[in-house]
Structure 1
Amino acid sequence: MRAKKTPLASFLQASLQKLNATTTHAAAIGAVTLLSQTAFADGSVSGKLSDKSGSYGIEGALVTVKELNVQTSTNRDGRYNLPSLPNGEYTLELSYVGADTQTRAIAITDNAILVEHFTLSSNATEHVLVIGEAASLNKALNKQRASNNIVSIVNADAIGNYPDANTSEALQRLPGVSVENDQGEGRYVRIRGLGANFNSVTINGSKVPSPNAGERAVALDTVPSELLESLEVTKTLTPDMDADSLGGTINVKSLSAFDRDGRFYKATLETNFDEHTSQASPKLSLTASDLFSIGDGADNFGVAGALSWYERKFGSDNVETGGAWDVADNAADTRLEEFEQRDYTISRERLGASLNFDYQANDVTNLFLRTLYSEYTDAEERQANVIEMYQFERDDLGDIVLDDEGDEETNDGIPASETGAATIARELKDRTETMKIKSLVLGGKSEWDTWVIDYKLGASQSSEHTPFHIDGAVFEADFEEGIGYSAAKQIYLHAPAEVYAAENYELDEIATAQQITKDKENNIQLDITKRLQLAGNPLALKWGAKLSQREKTSDEEVWAYSNLDEVGFTDEQLLLSNYVATNSGEAQIDYQFGPMGQAIASRPLLNAISPLDKSEYHEEIDSAIADFTVNEDISAAYVMGTLDVDKLRILAGVRVEQTDFTAAGMHYNEYEDEGAEIEELTAASFNNDYSHTLPSLHLRYLIGEKVQLRAAWTNAVVRPTFEQLSPAKVREGDEVEFGNPLLKPLEASNLDIGIEYYGGFASYFSAFVFSKDIENFAYAIDLGATADASLVGPGEISEANTFKNGDSATLTGLELAASKQFSELPAPWDGFLVSANATWTSSEATIEYLDDELFAQRDIHLPSQSDFSGNFAIGYETEKFSLRVAANYKSEYLLEVSDPADAQGDAWVDAQTGIDFLARWYASEKVQVFVQGVNLGDQGYYVYSGEGQKDYNFQYEEYGPSFRLGVTITDF
């Protein structure tokens, strides 16, 4: 009996066949070039850069053979290799920011390997070159300087210098990077003002799929920062990289034992105190690595592992309108139709693990295996009051006006200066969702003579599982007078005492649900590099191919328990007073913006519906429409060359990507056609295949030892979100809502020009301007009666809500970054370190909307784009302690366009400033004690309705500051 192949095995077999065909074009180009070149002679120089004690290698130093203009950089274990150099006597130069440049006279002979090791030069700052915040910044600067493209880097030891609990928060300190928060914690990363759906995330170079059903964006708060060795944000793509990022690509690099020599371990224990809820939460992390000798090798096998666990209990208070304002020319006549009070009780648990292996098989081949597992459990209870306000129409005598049928006439909404009636719903949502990310990358590198071959196999899976839960329990009551509100930003409810009495509310519905989303991505990649000479100048020709296979599925089930009086529930049983919390500490909702009443409890509600036949309450249509399967296969091939001409490095190439997209979902139609009532639920599928050719050019020019100019012209392709590509359609009467699987990908042409100055140890300045021309960005639109009948079906249509490609958009910006270590000053001033960065951006996009059955246009900002964002930090460190205060700012930005036809409905996020503090005491060589303060300014989250209309609340939320106390034990 033949064994059944696993999905990964089947992917490998198909990919290896396709990889051969995909590389043919790129290999042919490379072969033609190779035949016209002369290879170097057979001599080489290699070695390692270590700190003075030799305890571990230093990455990012530039090693140059001056006379040949041949250059490389030290890798993550400090090693370098310059192969196949012609016979002769030369000058070997090693340059590392923060240390003295070293030169040596060397002689290259045929068939000989010259070994030249370096240690950090002896100077006044040597004792801090490898330890402390300034040292970690200095390491990152050296990596940035050596890169062929524009990158920003933060190292693992630098992450610990700020109170950042997860990966996204660690990234927000970099130039041009800011984060979007969820419940006060950093979640999604924005790069150069572009939202997370415009950026990509990789772990060890392998793409990470998104656990969220409708998104491509990866919520990086799911990845604990303790699992990382470094974070790299690439802002200009080279042809050997995936082309699916407009703002940038975030690469999460996990630990390697070769990052250090010998045994290493670190343990951190801390507690977090949340001022808002007065609760303390524990956190524990462990990191360890060691080197072993296998066979004839010495320390040629490395094992590194990390474990992190963090459980945080906290909460927030929220009041929001969702834009339910009827704005009048006279502000006094503006009416608020509805608003909602929300109280959140939250528990978030993060568990992360990483286990990595490195093997130097011989002098030619290095192999590695990288694994990462992250599990993020978010338990959230939301108590809410939804206040839908109206006023009775009254005649001159104050009597309520009745219509022809005897019904009471009302006006929606209430002006802030008046009171009226309201229907108030007391609601509960109680759910626990678990997001998981699994990543495995197996690969290696073989290098001999003038050839380098890199090979890599990646498998990643993300998932989000929300078990059976209360999605919305609703109790309602009507109040005919005395309901009002005050303030516009932070809205307060004014209501009589009976509004807060549980016995006045009756159960309307209990909605329950469960959902699971899975997103899998497998990829295989092969890269080949050949070192050559072109007219006496060093040339590295590189070509290769990558195949990736992605499958995203979503499965949701919905049940709605309503009309319970028809199945035996008495009037008494339907009262809210039967379902409130009885514990005295939980009975009243702890809400900061006024009273809310007693808290609704989940268990009595679930007990009440447990005897009912669940199948009779299953929402077949809603459950089916939410399910989909999407497959996206991408085949890519590229060729590029890197040429050094004197002080100029030129990198040019082209990447070709072929995308095969399929989507399967459900269509629901309920309408009348020629007198017949139509109701049907049918399966639907779509196919959309397309290709892109993406050229790029990178230039780097050295002006002296400390200054370099950079310029890049690149092209990117960003595919629409899965929500936008959804194959689902729901039509009820003359209203229809559907996704658009035939949307075109966003295409962008990018130009970056800038200068970098490396002034010494941890001292740096850069300035970059950038411009992005964008086509085919997607946005929501109501096509109304213009909708294609083949999509919506026969008959009249009044609303057709879907997604459409925009014609064009632009984004331009200026990015500045600087840091300065004042080591040249006399004590005690030599311990100060200042770092700052600022990014100014401007964007414009044109969207369409229907106006009296004709299309009109208006200009908007790109969503998530702040005109200004910046960071500022000032620190002071000695051998015994370090202090740090950091501020993070981002100006207001467009969150979403609720209605393309109505700018007043646009949701804007107000400017935010976060202030954090850290103090660290080095109790001994191995023990550090630290205190951190987060959000010391008690920055909230405010969304308002309409650009510049800050008086009109869309959402307001407060979290309060938090504090951490911990100890770290390290042993090298």
Structure 2
Amino acid sequence: MVDRVFGNSFRQVLRASVFALASMPLAMAGLVPGAAYAQEQQTGQVRGRLIDGETGTPLTGAQLMIVETGDVSATENGGRFEFKNVPAGVYTLAVSYIGLADYAQEVVVSAAETTDLRVVMPNTMTLEGIVVVGQRSSQASALNQQRMASNLSNVISADQAGRFPDSNAAEAMQRVPGVAINREEKGGEGRYISIRGLDSGLNNFKLNGVNVAQTDTDTRRVPLDVVQAGALSKIVVNKTLLPDMDGDGIGGSVELETGSAFDLNERLIRFNLEGNYNDFAEDLGGKVSATFGDTFGARDEFGVLISGTYNKRQTMGYNNLQDEEYIPYFEQDEGEPIDMSGDNTLIPWWFGLGNFDNERENIGASIALDYRLDENTSLYLKGSYNRLEDIELSSGFFIIADDDELYQNGVFDPEGGTVYQVRSEYEESVFTNSTLTVGGTTSHNNFTFDYSVGYARGIFEEPNDYEVAFEYELSGPVLYDYSDNYFPQPILSEEDQAAIRDPSNFVLGGNDIDLDDSKDEKYIAQFDTTYEPNSTWLSYIKAGAKYQRSERELFEANVLEAEGDLALVGSGFEGGYLDTSDVGSPYGQILRLNPGYIRNWRNIGQQLVADGILENAYDGDPPDEDSYEAEEDLYAAYLMAEAVHGDFEFIGGVRVEYLDFTSNGFEVIEDEDGETVQARTSTSDNTQILPRIQVNYRPTDKFVVRGAAFTSLARPEFVFLNAATEIEIEDDNSLEAFLGNPDLKPAYAWNFDLSAEYYLSSIGMISGGVFYKSIEDFIFIDSAPEGETTSAELEARFPGYNIEVETVFNGNRAEVYGLELAYMNQFTGLKGPFGGLGVYANLTLQETSADTGLEGRDDVPFFNAPDYVGTVALTYQKYGVEANLAYTFRGDSLEELGPYLIDKYQQSYETLDGQFKYALTEKVDLYVNAIDILDDGLDPVVHKTLGKGGRYPEDITFNGRTVTFGVTLEF
């Protein structure tokens, strides 16, 4: 059941059947043409828009019911709704919208005609005459859309076409139940999100209906700090999947949407000017954004919405890093647990602390063009461009033990000695993500056709990545005092302590220039057909097909490693001293290198080589063996239907996905004569069958119970599927090889959900649910399990050799159990200023276990799955004031499997964020936001350790708080 592999012959069958499946509703309708025609003559259609009577804003997610027939519909974007096949007559149209009083009006339906309505809903609260605007309007819109959704989802809605208070898409999602953000280590901003404790690489991300292209070089994660939130109008987090949704998404599916001019009630011209300030950087940054939206034409049939953002800010912080592995003082097999009795201790044989300056620049732009050709057809074009440039300069020290032979006589005593390095790195990283979607919707009688083509591109570039280190050889091996959980204290002799502060003791010890570029391009075509029969119980039959081609490439190469004698004093690299006391570090003042020289190392290093002072060890080396080009062709088709019986909705069907994968990589053979490189190609394919069913029970318009059983996938990272081969030949006729594994299977999960939601008229909700996931062949995110295997090809090529082969494998099985609770409410019934109060809170508790397939690792927590995650927030909106104080927290989680059966953990994290906005006039808002208010610089924003207890630091980052402030103008 986990892996449905039918072989290459299935490819032709699926290709032939994909579009046949999409047209099945047409064929079914053709069986009863006479009946359909007769029914059409006796029925009519009702179409219209639902408008807020106070603000004129279209209302999305409202429930509409024709009382006499029981037919139910929901308003879509722009407040549009439609009822088909309504018998001629006079009816009552009842409207329910959370936050507004129920409303009803009469509608007359004529046979074979379309009745157009403009329903203006009075903007009055049930309990008190309070106009619903601002953040309450956003929450009301989100709750209404969530209530009417066919599946379990959470919606975040912008105030108006792109007005999120958060800086990027990841930050905007941290308020969703079950969602946790992973912060970028140096900038301190949210980058990745996990849903229900599952890593970002196990989720599916779309922007305007197009799968977002990857920019990470070695995972399928999508860094969301690239996407500026200002251009987004809505974010939907799907926690249960329907057959018409992609197979990917074991954690869930995230849909990011930019706005449309048809969502507006009038022309919109908005400017936003913002300043930002980081405690450590002590430098003022700024953001400017603008949005224009309007409809035009004789029938307002054209719409245009354009948005642009430029954001530049400076951050500064410190990073305490163990860059390789901890090892025990007494030598032992790393596959065995450590005996910590006696004098044994753990030692980081590569440890240091650095200060980093980050300059981050975002450029974002989006455009939405809409055209309503007639009452039956609408067309659209949506494009987005997002670019993040991150420039980082770090300075610090490392203590490094030579790794040729770390043990002498069974104890830690590196044969090659231990050095103290004064080290700096300059790195320019550029992430670019863009999408373009062209599509439309056409209705004809009982049919609706949705069609689109799309393109997505993700690029990661490191045009400049330099490391330079000057070193001094210490007098002996270094042990550490761990009495400070954040800052292990190296135990040095008095002579060494004095020497490491004297620049005259240092000579060039290491340097590097690397070139890393990756690109992912996706070409997508999709077609869906929905047939709504003239039936009282069968709501619709829907089928569709999708084709997606992904072309991905990674290029890694070494450019420069200069070797030779170069003293620190007199070289120009002297940079004085760095004070590390800002974060409570016990290391005091440490030597640093000249930042200007580090930034210019490419020119300086190449000139030193040209002058014969140094020699380039990389001269003429080939590209790194991890470089590759790969193509993924995905063919998908589905069939689903919805049936309604009383208060129950049944939605179910099946999805089939076929994947064809080709990889072009390198084989590197290293022997006593040097390295030889040749190209390698590998192919694989697999087919997955994905049944899915969702049942909703709606006894009232405020109460929904949802149950779901569905399957989903997570495909292996390209770097693991790559055909790369590394072969090392020894002179004793022995051979060691590492092989990529193109035959890795997708992780296949059975997911079960049961939840209940009760919606409050005062713009609120109470919900609770449980979920369970059983994941076979799960994917390791940062590293795959390696194990011994055989290779008939290598045995034939190298007869008589003693061959040891390692490759990567799938994990065995993982399970996730969870409980999810949420509550939000606006206390509109309270008198006076207290009527502005509101609250939202959510908590997700989960337990996970994984059998990795590795010895001694048959029951570990699942990766990046904290035991708990939640948010508690107090809100206020009245008298022109909008405020929000949110406390977000998450538990510790397994980051990576470590040696000696001691694993690497991300420690628990909490933050308090505040937002305050004041409406100076109807068109002018002033605001100030504070991120991580309680962070005085002494508590880490990232805290990774070896072992769950947190004694041995792996990666600890201190950033301090950030404050933004600005003004928004509308015309």
* TM-score normalised by structure 2 residue count: 0.89
- Aligned partners of 2:658 and 2:234: how far apart in 1? 31
Indicate conservation of the 8 Å contact 2:640/2:653, yes or no: yes
The alignment partner of 1:864 has SS state of: coil
Indicate conservation of the 8 Å contact 2:162/2:259, yes or no: no
Indicate conservation of the 8 Å contact 2:96/2:103, yes or no: yes
- Aligned partners of 1:864 and 1:55: how far apart in 2? 45
- Aligned partners of 1:626 and 1:358: how far apart in 2? 44
- Aligned partners of 1:158 and 1:810: how far apart in 2? 40
**Are 1:949 and 2:949 an aligned pair?**
yes
Q: State which drifts further: 320-329 or 297-306.
A: 320-329
Q: State which drifts further: 928-937 or 946-955.
A: 946-955
The alignment partner of 2:201 has SS state of: helix
- Aligned partners of 1:791 and 1:755: how far apart in 2? 57
Indicate conservation of the 8 Å contact 1:875/1:882, yes or no: yes
- Aligned partners of 1:25 and 1:802: how far apart in 2? 39
Find the counterpart in structure 2 of residue 452 from structure 1.
Answer: 448
Match of 1:234 among 230, 233, 238: 238
- Aligned partners of 2:839 and 2:805: how far apart in 1? 54
- Aligned partners of 1:352 and 1:671: how far apart in 2? 49
**Are 1:516 and 2:517 an aligned pair?**
yes
Structure 2 gaps of 5+ residues are 1-10, 329-337, 730-734
Deviation of the 1:358 alpha carbon = 0.6
Q: State which drifts further: 706-715 or 314-323.
A: 314-323
- Mapping for residues 615-654 of structure 1, pairs under 5 Å: 617-618=617-618, 623-654=623-654
Q: State which drifts further: 549-558 or 82-91.
A: 82-91
Q: Deviations over 1:183-233 (max 9, x none)?
A: 211001111100110001111111011112212111000011111111111
- Aligned partners of 2:22 and 2:659: how far apart in 1? 18
**Are 1:920 and 2:884 an aligned pair?**
no
Deviation of the 1:670 alpha carbon = 2.3
Letter in 2 for 1:575: L
The alignment partner of 1:170 has SS state of: helix
Indicate conservation of the 8 Å contact 2:662/2:684, yes or no: yes
Deviation of the 1:926 alpha carbon = 1.0
Find the counterpart in structure 1 of residue 571 from structure 2.
Answer: 578
Change (3 A) 1:355 1:161: closer
Find the counterpart in structure 2 of residue 139 from structure 1.
Answer: 141
Find the counterpart in structure 1 of residue 679 from structure 2.
Answer: 683
Find the counterpart in structure 2 of residue 250 from structure 1.
Answer: 254
The alignment partner of 1:936 has SS state of: coil
- Aligned partners of 1:87 and 1:160: how far apart in 2? 41
- Aligned partners of 1:871 and 1:815: how far apart in 2? 12
Change (3 A) 1:141 1:206: same
Find the counterpart in structure 2 of residue 826 from structure 1.
Answer: 831
Deviation of the 1:320 alpha carbon = 2.1
Deviation of the 1:122 alpha carbon = 4.8
- Aligned partners of 2:840 and 2:763: how far apart in 1? 9
Indicate conservation of the 8 Å contact 2:787/2:808, yes or no: no
Find the counterpart in structure 1 of residue 368 from structure 2.
Answer: 356
- Aligned partners of 1:113 and 1:331: how far apart in 2? 86
Change (3 A) 1:121 1:782: closer
**Are 1:194 and 2:187 an aligned pair?**
no
Q: Deviations over 1:642-670 (max 9, x none)?
A: 12222111111111111111111001122
- Mapping for residues 542-561 of structure 1, pairs under 5 Å: 542-561=542-561
Find the counterpart in structure 2 of residue 747 from structure 1.
Answer: 748
Match of 1:344 among 356, 359, 370: 356
Q: Deviations over 1:838-887 (max 9, x none)?
A: 111111110233xxxxx565211111101100011101221321222101
Q: Deviations over 1:505-529 (max 9, x none)?
A: 1113321122221100010111111
- Mapping for residues 249-268 of structure 1, pairs under 5 Å: 249-268=253-272
Deviation of the 1:287 alpha carbon = 1.2
- Aligned partners of 2:369 and 2:342: how far apart in 1? 66
The CA RMSD over aligned residues, in Å, is 3.0
- Aligned partners of 1:785 and 1:212: how far apart in 2? 28
Change (3 A) 1:32 1:538: closer
Q: Deviations over 1:391-414 (max 9, x none)?
A: 9x9xxxxxxxxx9xxx99794279
- Aligned partners of 1:409 and 1:773: how far apart in 2? 47
Deviation of the 1:165 alpha carbon = 1.4
- Aligned partners of 1:331 and 1:970: how far apart in 2? 70
Q: Deviations over 1:913-943 (max 9, x none)?
A: 0111111111111111111111112151454
Q: State which drifts further: 779-788 or 138-147.
A: 779-788
- Aligned partners of 1:280 and 1:159: how far apart in 2? 28
- Aligned partners of 2:788 and 2:530: how far apart in 1? 56
Indicate conservation of the 8 Å contact 2:528/2:544, yes or no: yes
Deviation of the 1:106 alpha carbon = 3.5
Structure 1 gaps of 5+ residues are 1-14, 394-402, 415-419, 565-570, 850-854
Letter in 1 for 2:907: D
Match of 2:591 among 597, 601, 616: 597
Deviation of the 1:16 alpha carbon = 15
Deviation of the 1:964 alpha carbon = 1.4
Match of 2:173 among 150, 171, 174: 171
Letter in 1 for 2:290: L
- Mapping for residues 766-781 of structure 1, pairs under 5 Å: 766-779=767-780, 780=783
**Are 1:154 and 2:150 an aligned pair?**
no
**Are 1:475 and 2:476 an aligned pair?**
no
Indicate conservation of the 8 Å contact 1:141/1:153, yes or no: yes
Change (3 A) 1:837 1:331: farther
Q: Deviations over 1:260-293 (max 9, x none)?
A: 0231122111111100121111111111101111
- Aligned partners of 2:569 and 2:847: how far apart in 1? 51
- Aligned partners of 1:782 and 1:968: how far apart in 2? 51
**Are 1:441 and 2:437 an aligned pair?**
yes
* TM-score normalised by structure 1 residue count: 0.89
Letter in 1 for 2:921: S
Find the counterpart in structure 1 of residue 928 from structure 2.
Answer: 931
Letter in 2 for 1:436: T
- Aligned partners of 2:794 and 2:753: how far apart in 1? 41
Indicate conservation of the 8 Å contact 1:30/1:543, yes or no: no
- Aligned partners of 2:665 and 2:180: how far apart in 1? 35
Change (3 A) 1:781 1:106: closer
Change (3 A) 1:241 1:268: same
**Are 1:271 and 2:275 an aligned pair?**
yes
Letter in 2 for 1:918: Q
The alignment partner of 1:770 has SS state of: strand
Deviation of the 1:376 alpha carbon = 0.6
Corresponding pairs, count: 913
The alignment partner of 2:852 has SS state of: strand
Find the counterpart in structure 1 of residue 335 from structure 2.
Answer: none
Deviation of the 1:30 alpha carbon = 5.8
Change (3 A) 1:896 1:212: same
Change (3 A) 1:413 1:268: farther
Indicate conservation of the 8 Å contact 1:311/1:349, yes or no: yes
- Aligned partners of 2:570 and 2:859: how far apart in 1? 51
Change (3 A) 1:845 1:319: same
The alignment partner of 2:773 has SS state of: strand
Find the counterpart in structure 2 of residue 329 from structure 1.
Answer: 340
Match of 2:696 among 680, 685, 700: 700
Indicate conservation of the 8 Å contact 1:342/1:384, yes or no: yes
Letter in 2 for 1:937: L
- Aligned partners of 1:16 and 1:730: how far apart in 2? 35
Indicate conservation of the 8 Å contact 1:386/1:425, yes or no: yes
Q: Deviations over 1:320-357 (max 9, x none)?
A: 22441426523763142432112211101000001110
- Aligned partners of 2:248 and 2:599: how far apart in 1? 46
Letter in 2 for 1:526: F
Indicate conservation of the 8 Å contact 1:335/1:413, yes or no: no
Indicate conservation of the 8 Å contact 1:880/1:923, yes or no: yes
Find the counterpart in structure 2 of residue 116 from structure 1.
Answer: 117
- Aligned partners of 2:851 and 2:340: how far apart in 1? 26
The alignment partner of 1:134 has SS state of: helix
Deviation of the 1:141 alpha carbon = 0.2
Indicate conservation of the 8 Å contact 1:502/1:598, yes or no: no
Deviation of the 1:726 alpha carbon = 2.2
